[in-house]
Structure 1
């Protein structure tokens, strides 16, 4: 039976220890700063924030291109001859990355693509669910594994609160008036992935410690998340006391397996420092 290899993009923000432990292949997206193109994961996230402090601009981001996917898939095929690749991609509704993967895939046999319709911790949740299925049944047929992954894509939920409205304003994602009002009243938008699109669904008022509690409370009320696993996302700068508090709340809600995921450079250009998010799969 052919070996199944799982792959995804760096926008999943999979922790390196989990990538290595489960042999997930990750292709980098791009961050452009000071007219230089960096592969996501090749530069410290702090450089993103230092660049903003220096220039009051945020870096731009670009998708993995067709040639990079071709090279990526070719390398996997060379390492694992006759393997089956299942690539779980960053939402096609917010990036051209998945479309580029589709074009590249035309040159390969036994290569299957799944649009996760999610990003960062939501995408990671889908990938790690696939890892779990493969671990439980190593001889699973590729078509059945694909079917099981596709079933949980619409049940995977992600919600987060950016740490800085300055980053949203600098990136053109909020108007100056909305930024001034948000900053004045300490309002933070809740961003969710709805059918693959990033949409502001609610606004919270207060400091991040208060907002984080409201976010997790609302999220667990609105979605019947499977208690087997919960994912928290954060961008550097989130206070450790908030992390401790979120762990306590989640454990009291019956979550014993909690994975923290740090936003990489690409995601951090949109979230800003000190952001917090939560992801899980509905029962």
Structure 2
């Protein structure tokens, strides 16, 4: 039976230890900063924040291109001859990366592509579902595996609060008027994935310590999340006391496994320092 190999993009923020354990292959997206092109993962998030402090500009991000996918899939096929690749991609509604994977896959056999319609922890939740399923059912047929992964796509729920409105404003995601009002009132938007699109669904007011707890309560009240696994996401700069409290709340709520994930460079260019998010799969 042919080996099934899972792959995804760096915008999943899949922790390295998990990628290594389950042999998930990760193709990098890009950050353009100060006229230079960096692969996601090769640049410290702190460098992005330092760049913004100096210039009041944020880097731009770009998708994995067709040539890179060609090299990426070719390398997997060379390392695992006759394997079947199941690629679970970053939402096509916010990046051209998945479409580039679709264009590339036409030149290969035995590649299945799944648009996760999600990012960061929401994408990781789907990748981990696939990895766990493969571990439990190693003889599963590829078509059946893909069908079961696709059935989980609409059940992956991600909610994220950016740490800084400055980054949203610098990136053109909020108007100056909205920024000034939000800054004065200490309003923080909640970003969720709706049909694969990043949408501001709620607004919270107050310190991040208060807002993070409100987000957690609202999230757990709104969604019936599988208690087996919860993913908590932070961007560099989030207070350790907030992380400790959110971990405590998750475990008090009955989650068996709580995995913290650091937002990588691509996600951090949109969230700014000190952001907090939560992701899981609905039952």
User: For residues 53 and 168 of structure 1, what CA distance do their matches in structure 2 show?
Assistant: 14
1:231 aligns with 2:221: no
Deviation (angstroms), 1:13: 0.2
User: For residues 26 and 160 of structure 1, what CA distance do their matches in structure 2 show?
Assistant: 22
Unpaired runs of at least 5, structure 2: none
Aligned to 2:95: 95
SS of 1:41's equivalent in the other structure is coil
SS of 1:159's equivalent in the other structure is strand
Deviations 1:131-190 (A, max 9, x none): 000000111111111011000000100000000000000000000010001000100000
Aligned to 2:44: 44
1:275 aligns with 2:278: no
SS of 2:256's equivalent in the other structure is coil
Deviation (angstroms), 1:94: 0.4
Deviation (angstroms), 1:199: 0.3
Aligned to 1:250: 250
Deviation (angstroms), 1:95: 0.3
Deviation (angstroms), 1:100: 0.4
Deviation (angstroms), 1:121: 0.3
TM-score, normalised by the number of residues in structure 2: 1.00
Aligned to 1:141: 141
SS of 1:232's equivalent in the other structure is strand
Q: For 1:100-179, list aligned pairs within 5 A.
A: 100-179=100-179
User: For residues 12 and 152 of structure 1, what CA distance do their matches in structure 2 show?
Assistant: 16
User: For residues 17 and 61 of structure 1, what CA distance do their matches in structure 2 show?
Assistant: 25
Deviations 1:68-98 (A, max 9, x none): 0011000000000000000000000000000
Unpaired runs of at least 5, structure 1: none
Aligned to 2:9: 9
Deviation (angstroms), 1:260: 0.5
1:86 aligns with 2:79: no
User: For residues 173 and 192 of structure 2, what CA distance do their matches in structure 1 show?
Assistant: 15
Deviation (angstroms), 1:244: 0.6
Deviations 1:188-221 (A, max 9, x none): 0000001100000000000000000000000000
User: For residues 256 and 22 of structure 2, what CA distance do their matches in structure 1 show?
Assistant: 20
User: For residues 264 and 208 of structure 2, what CA distance do their matches in structure 1 show?
Assistant: 20
Deviation (angstroms), 1:48: 0.4
User: For residues 193 and 267 of structure 1, what CA distance do their matches in structure 2 show?
Assistant: 14
SS of 2:221's equivalent in the other structure is helix
SS of 1:192's equivalent in the other structure is strand
* Aligned residue pairs, count: 283
Aligned to 1:209: 209
Deviation (angstroms), 1:21: 1.0
Deviations 1:228-247 (A, max 9, x none): 10000000000000011001
Q: Provide the alpha-carbon RMSD of the alignment.
A: 0.4
